[in-house]
Amino acid sequence: MVRNGDWIRAKIENYYVIGFVENISFERNKVFITKVAEFIGDKTYWVKPTPKLFTVDRVEKLEVELIKDDWDCLIDLAIQTSDEKWFEQLSERMLLDA
């Protein structure tokens, strides 16, 4: 099962979308993600972050482990960009993963 903040991939026709989960609506069977890359063949193409919507069954959680330094860098970035919501999400997620 995916959670907010998880990195995922989802297949679209002949390529994969890579992104992270922004929100989940299990009642509607929907996952709202921010797409950051496309994986076509054996190449990764970074794209402008774009919102996308998928059904829960189309997304696959990617196993990504962050170490404490990674969390610290992300939290610093959230502070530098004055993104209070992201800061709160990162802080909550860091405590869950610790």
- Quote the pLDDT of residue 94: 81
Residues in the chain: 98
- pTM, rounded to two decimals: 0.68
- Quote the pLDDT of residue 98: 61
**Which segments of the chain have a pLDDT < 50?**
none
How many angstroms separate the CA atoms of 95 and 69, rounded?
14
- Quote the pLDDT of residue 31: 95
- Quote the pLDDT of residue 71: 83
- Quote the pLDDT of residue 56: 92
Q: Which of 37, 63, 58, 59 is nearest to 48 (CA)?
A: 37
Cβ neighbour number for residue 6 with a 10 Å cutoff: 19
